Amino acid sequence: MKPTVYTIENDTLFCFTVSQAKVIAIELEGKKYQDSITVEQSTQLALKDSLIQQQDSTIKLLQHQAINYQSIIANNQEVNNEVNLQLDFLKTEVKRHKRDKIFLGTGLGVSIGIIGILAILN
């Protein structure tokens, strides 16, 4: 494609025929279309990058939550173990106090019986 070149008042002008102008217009439209596709792809890529960052943040948050839940479960197990130990101790204490009451009642009954017998004998 060779344009006709004119120089008017120190300006260089390029003149094309109608068929050459059509070819240039078609090429320019193709470039414009390619540029719009590039812009659209860049926008979609930026959006995908943003979504990936959000997913990464969500994954990290969920990982921290899982760790926290594991700590809560471990703490609950420790508390349950401690409560069970205290419950066992209290059960043992209750049994011991019942046994002591029985011995005290028996001893008191025997003592009253002995005192009663001694009182009758005197």
Report pLDDT for 3: 84
* Residue ranges of the chain whose pLDDT lies below 70: none
pLDDT attached to residue 6? 83
Contact present, 15 and 4 (Cβ < 8 Å): yes
Q: Can you give the pLDDT at residue 51?
A: 97
- The DSSP line for 8-46 is ETTEEEEE--HHHHHHHHHHHHHHHHHHHHHHHHHHHHH
